[in-house]
Amino acid sequence: MSSEVTARESRAAHVQTAQSLQLHGAINGGLEGGLVGLLFAGVAHHTWNAFRRKTFQFKVFVVLGFTMAGFVFGAESALVQFERAQRLHENNLRRRAQAALTSRGIHPTEAAIQAWKNEQAAQLDQQQQQSKSP
């Protein structure tokens, strides 16, 4: 039961981290996209007569298109990078678990890997508690 609660808390923390990273990625991407849109509109206004004749509202629409694309791509790239890091961490942990279980002569099933992870987490908690108390 406690492993379910710990897993649920861990997933909730990962979701919160992912949302935070996605928000910051969206903001940064939107700012970059807006800057690119402004530069494009400025250059197009000064070099292209057809664009110069367009209304101000259309030019704002073009800049907002770049900004929205920046928001979307920035958020998506931040989330993909976070998921990639999570996947690499999980794969490394599973490799370590498989190697440790195989060296003990245990077939590395999902249940055995989860038990190994719980065992490692308990050992880490025990070491941290020992280091805190003199």
pLDDT digits (tens, 9 = 90+) for 64-90: 999 999 999 999 999 999 999 999 999
Residue 133 reports pLDDT greater than 80: no
Q: What percent of the chain has pLDDT over 70?
A: 96
Structural domain boundaries enclosing 105: 2-132
**Do 45 and 52 meet the contact criterion of CB atoms below 8 Å apart?**
yes
Q: How many domains does the chain have?
A: 1
* Model pLDDT, residue 52: 92
CA 119, 121, 124, 130 dihedral sign is: negative
**38-61 confidence digits (pLDDT tens):** 999 999 999 999 999 999 999 999
Q: Which amino acid is at 130?
A: Q
Within 10 angstroms of residue 120's Cβ, the number of other Cβ atoms is: 14
CA-CA distance, 117 to 94, in Å (whole number)?
9
Q: Which residues contact 129 (CB under 8 A, 6 or more apart)?
A: none
Helix (H) or strand (E) holding 1: none
Transcribe 38-60 into DSSP letters: HHHHHHHHHH-HHHHTS-HHHHH
